[in-house]
Chain A
């Protein structure tokens, strides 16, 4: 089957580093995307990993391990504006390459 798991909520302090994990259970995995959604806003694309390893984009990095069916989003130098929900989404070959979305992780940042 196709399922994604990510923590429902993570709390961190401004200026710190936080990691949001995503595990998936399926065959035919194709790639892992991350999206950010502020309250009341639309999701915005952050990153995509198709191959193992780390992709870095400014303060945000995304990691994938295909052998472990696991990925994470790493946010560094946290700012209050990073308070949002973060969704992982996976492409599967047997779902016509459609994105299957996790339930989202609410990131709460404290000063």
Chain B
């Protein structure tokens, strides 16, 4: 069974630009969660989508948004990038939202 895939794996952007990250969950999983991870900060929850609806949301500004498609694939968008947005962005898929399986992550660097 294929695991969670994330594209791109690495990305370099300039302040003020926007970026879109993609996540393909494990086949049959309807929940996709997104996390931001920076050194020393642990996993910070961004949002979770279940069957195309945002079910949970973390404490991030509105510049961070996401969506989920009918095939459960999900995208995350960050607008007006700031230097502090440099991080490893992780996507996790789950059947119901609890037992989560992670992708390899997208390393975003903002210069």
Partners in one complex: no
Residue numbers of A with Cβ under 8 A of B are: none
